[in-house]
Structure 1
Amino acid sequence: MDVAEQIKKHLPREADTTVPEIDKYCEYYRSLFPEVRSYECFKYLHLGIISTLKRKSLPEISKIVGISSQSLHHFISKSPWSKSELETRRLKRIKKILRNQEIAIIIDETGDRKKGKKTDYVSRQYLGSIGKVDNGIVSVNSYGVYQNITFPLITRIYKPKGKLKSEDKYKSKTEIAVDIIKEIKKIGLNIKIVLADSLYGESSNFLDIIYEYGLEYVVAIRSNHGVWLPSSQRVRANKWCKFTRTFSDGTQETRYIREIIYGQKRATTYWQITTDYET
């Protein structure tokens, strides 16, 4: 073997290609992965995520992209790359692309069923994906919406009190959501409005941070949520208005909306939405 071949043999090889769109997107993060195999798994994971797979688990993704599931597990659990550095770079890229355009922020939690005891922070808790309490893991997530395009921003794992590590500090889901809003503001994204369900809509500390930043918001509250009124004031309801709700899959549903006025008109308004106003 001549000298040139020996040198070539010991040079780092190029990462395998996937599809042009994935390769182009992932190239922005190439320097975060010191090992070429880690970078390849990073690309394969993206390829699996945008695939037509119904269940995008690591074993299923590994089958469709043609690598071992062990490789993807190693990439997630042991490969030398930094989640925080990746997140920071991704958020900076989003900020650059948006160019200070206003976006809506959605705050929501996701619960996924999880068997076994090897995954951190798995506990019996309410899982929204199945609508009941079961063994699983829950995350608090934020998404940005710009011109009908929805994209992920920041995700944080909810850590139940009974599953905390020595270095952990317990935070409720609403406290995690407050931290997420603060992080998004610190990044410099231009928030137009914040959307959230009743868990956050009935949380004073979550609403406090919204008020502090002077943000517009639409949050859900439960039907039994009360509002204190002076004895001289009363609750009024406007007439129902019919509208059509169109879902992302193109299906539609008829709904009705009306404003509920607690006493005098105020900056904060309350609206009731239903699919059947007669019941």
Structure 2
Amino acid sequence: MSVSSWAGGLVDWRRTLTEIKRFIAPAFKRIEQRQTAGIFIDGLLSRAERKTGWMLAEEAGLDRPYRIQSLLGRSLWSADELCERVRHYVIEALGDPDGVLVVDETGFLKKGDQSVGVARQYSGTAGRIENCQVGVFAGYASRFGHALIDRQLYLPKEWAEDPERLQKASVPEDLAFATKPTIARMMIERILDEGVPCAFVLADALYGSDSKFRSALERRKQPYVLAVRSNHTLRIFREEQLILTDTETMIDELDAQAWQALSAGEGTKGPRLYEWTRLPIARPNEDGFQRWLLARRSLRNPDAIAYYFANAPAETTLAELAAAAGLRWTIEECFLRAKDDLGLDHCEARSWHGWHRHMSLVMVAAAFLVKISAQQRRHAFGKWNETSPDDQVMAVA
């Protein structure tokens, strides 16, 4: 996908590309790093089929990929600072009170066992156990678009408990083993601490089934809609008795009239209609928040039911919960675009910092494309935000 064809000539994409390069520049220590990062980003946005060091160098007219490889490996700069700047840039473009945060993981198939974090493990991308790396990501979605805003590589226990392997891959010494829900929880808390506008946090059953993940959001009074499995155990007090049940059984006990046809958002062929229902699984707490068990049923196949835990102000409607749940697909779209168009899964770096640098640079390229789309949407909505990251560059210069 070329930059010009994506922009469609409706906005000044060259100015926007220059703008984002200026905005991320302080993340790099030297002018040579900034120039190479610009070359790297241009290559990611080019028509090059593979975004490898050699092909990015060839796209830039370089004789060899030394500069590209050095940017990911030998040079000194912070991938976390770059990621934070990408996040601020994306929120400037997409931020909205109705925006949502979505967490999910994606796999990167690998050969051999030298790349950091690679192991025989389940990959949702492949749908089976494969030799791969797995990264946990956070995405942001609003009516103006959606983009990835954070990332962290998951280290399986066999890696986390092997000091020699960790040292060889330049893994930070203070990094301990953490489950994917733990990584996601720390990631979401960091993002929310920055004041990112967020109406709901969304995630699949791996995260929704984790009580610590849910509790952390509840302590912050942060609404969420989190998928759970059909056999997730529930303890319900009914008529002063403790009843053990599961999500599927509770929903099966509801009357047919309890279901309501609602949209889960717009799809490629119009509104995505499902039947929805909910029932409270606790009394409203002192803060006025209510917990619900939420369910979505296919109109074509009534046996196809998805289950969620939801926590939000008691006045939140079923339609609002359905609309929020329907936005979880946005992070899958982010993965698809970043892999197919920008080389998210073409990382050749074997080290911890190399992986995070590659992912962060791809996120820069994706943020550029999202900013163009957001500009078009804001103009279409007649609600252009005058604030520009240019002002922020001046502030930190």
Q: TM-score, normalised by structure 1?
A: 0.78
Q: Cα gap change, 1:81/1:242 in structure 2, threshold over 3 Å: closer, same or farther?
A: closer
2:189 pairs with 1:182:
yes
Q: 1:268: which partner in 2?
A: 292
- % of aligned pairs identical? 22
Q: 1:3: which partner in 2?
A: none
Q: Give the superposed CA RMSD.
A: 3.2
Counterpart Cα distance in 1 of 2:82 and 2:282:
49
Tell me if the contact between 1:125 and 1:135 (Cα under 8 Å) persists in the aligned partners.
yes
Amino acid in the other structure paired with 2:300: D
Q: Please show how residues 75-94 of structure 1 align to structure 2 within 5 Å.
A: 75-94=71-90
Q: 2:277: which partner in 1?
A: 259
Counterpart Cα distance in 2 of 1:231 and 1:188:
39
Q: Cα gap change, 1:263/1:146 in structure 2, threshold over 3 Å: closer, same or farther?
A: closer
Q: 1:206: which partner in 2?
A: 213
Residue 211 (structure 1) shift: 0.4
The 3-state SS of whatever aligns with 1:41 is helix
The worse-fitting range, judged by mean Cα deviation, of 193-202 and 237-246 is 237-246
5+ long unaligned stretches in structure 1: 1-17
Q: Cα gap change, 1:149/1:40 in structure 2, threshold over 3 Å: closer, same or farther?
A: same
Larger RCO of the pair (alpha carbons < 8 Å, separation 6+): 2
Counterpart Cα distance in 2 of 1:100 and 1:263:
30
Q: Please show how residues 38-49 of structure 1 align to structure 2 within 5 Å.
A: 38-49=33-44
The worse-fitting range, judged by mean Cα deviation, of 218-227 and 174-183 is 218-227
Q: TM-score, normalised by structure 2?
A: 0.57
2:22 pairs with 1:23:
no
Q: 1:239: which partner in 2?
A: 259
5+ long unaligned stretches in structure 2: 1-12, 161-165, 168-172, 244-249, 284-289, 304-397
Tell me if the contact between 2:282 and 2:291 (Cα under 8 Å) persists in the aligned partners.
no
Q: Cα gap change, 1:264/1:96 in structure 2, threshold over 3 Å: closer, same or farther?
A: closer
Q: 1:12: which partner in 2?
A: none
Q: Please show how residues 23-172 of structure 1 align to structure 2 within 5 Å.
A: 23-52=18-47, 55-67=50-62, 68-94=64-90, 101=97, 103-164=99-160, 165=166, 167=173, 168-172=175-179
Q: Cα gap change, 1:267/1:118 in structure 2, threshold over 3 Å: closer, same or farther?
A: closer
Amino acid in the other structure paired with 1:123: A
Q: Cα gap change, 1:78/1:148 in structure 2, threshold over 3 Å: closer, same or farther?
A: same
Number of positions where the alignment pairs a residue of Structure 1 with one of Structure 2 = 260
The worse-fitting range, judged by mean Cα deviation, of 44-53 and 136-145 is 44-53
Residue 251 (structure 1) shift: 5.1
Amino acid in the other structure paired with 1:224: N
Q: 1:193: which partner in 2?
A: 200
Tell me if the contact between 1:139 and 1:157 (Cα under 8 Å) persists in the aligned partners.
yes
Amino acid in the other structure paired with 1:202: S
Q: Cα gap change, 1:97/1:230 in structure 2, threshold over 3 Å: closer, same or farther?
A: closer
